[in-house]
Amino acid sequence: MNTILQVDQLSGGYSPKRPVLHGIDFQIKAGEMVGLMGLNGAGKSTTIKHILGLMTPHQGEIRVAGSRLEDDPERYRGAFAYVPESPVLFDELTVEEHLRLSGMAYGVSEQLYEQRKEMLLDEFQMKSKRKAFAAHLSKGMKQKVMIMSAFLSAPALYIIDEPFLGLDPLGIRSLLDRLVEVKESGAAILMSSHVLSTVEAYCDRFIIMHQGRIAAQGEMNDIRAAADLHPNSGTLEDAFYKLVAGGAAP
């Protein structure tokens, strides 16, 4: 499988004198969904900001679909779609206009745009809101617009940060079903979430961060081994608490 996201020895943060990240090293291949977990302040968001190109590494290198940001910014940014924890929309644009803007930004052909737009509006129960202005949408509906915009572009890499906040049960199911579909089609997915049971059920591999470092990564048995749990016994939540709190889950 091709490596879509490669993070090598990444160190960085907001101040060169006080790095938040220390030697972060991982990769995600085509057709993989990888869960990124950690307590608040563990470095998850800072890692994502570096991948997005919003922060410059102090050390290390990041490649998306083989490209580095400094070598080919357009190709690098065009290879991923990002769904943030808090939706960011233009109040004066409608749902449909946001989708049109995303399609234009990623160079989606008119035919593909129409097909994907109608499919996504139907899947996320947003057909009746296609002409609604973003200012009039609930937080959950705004999040659906962000998610639909990401899927519309069909990139090589999806970066999903706490995607379930504000979504109704049907929206959560639609999102998870769609993530499975794009993964099976060959996309790579990095999903950061505190909903450990969902991460365990849907992700192929896991990265647990603690205090700016990777405490454990790999498949479920690799995580169990790092947490000194018996092979094939114990949940992701059990392992997580042992790794970041030094004890069993409360």
Assign residue 59 the CATH number of its domain. Answer: 3.40.50.300
Residue 156 lies in a domain: no
Residue pair 133/161 in contact by the 8 Å Cβ criterion? no
The whole domain housing 236 covers: 1-77+193-250
pLDDT digits (tens, 9 = 90+) for 130-171: 999 999 999 999 999 999 999 999 999 999 998 888 889 999
The 8-class DSSP code of residue 67 comes to B
Residue 30 lies in a domain: yes
Residue 101 lies in a domain: no
Beta carbons within 10 angstroms of residue 126's beta carbon: 22
Angle (CA) 42-64-33 rounded to 5° is 60
Give me the pLDDT at residue 173, please. Answer: 92
CA distance 148 to 138: 15
Residue 94 lies in a domain: no
| Contacts with 121 (C-beta within 8 Å, 6 or more apart), sequence order | 95, 127, 130, 148
Give me the pLDDT at residue 231, please. Answer: 86
Q: Which of residues 16 and 38 earns the better pLDDT score?
A: 38
pLDDT digits (tens, 9 = 90+) for 92-118: 999 999 999 999 999 999 999 999 999
Residue 184 lies in a domain: no
For residue 232, is pLDDT > 90? no
CA distance 141 to 94: 12
Residue 246 lies in a domain: yes
Residue 10 lies in a domain: yes
Residue 213 lies in a domain: yes
Report how many domains make up the chain. Answer: 1
- Nearest-CA neighbor of 88 among 135, 44, 146? 146
The 8-class DSSP code of residue 234 comes to S
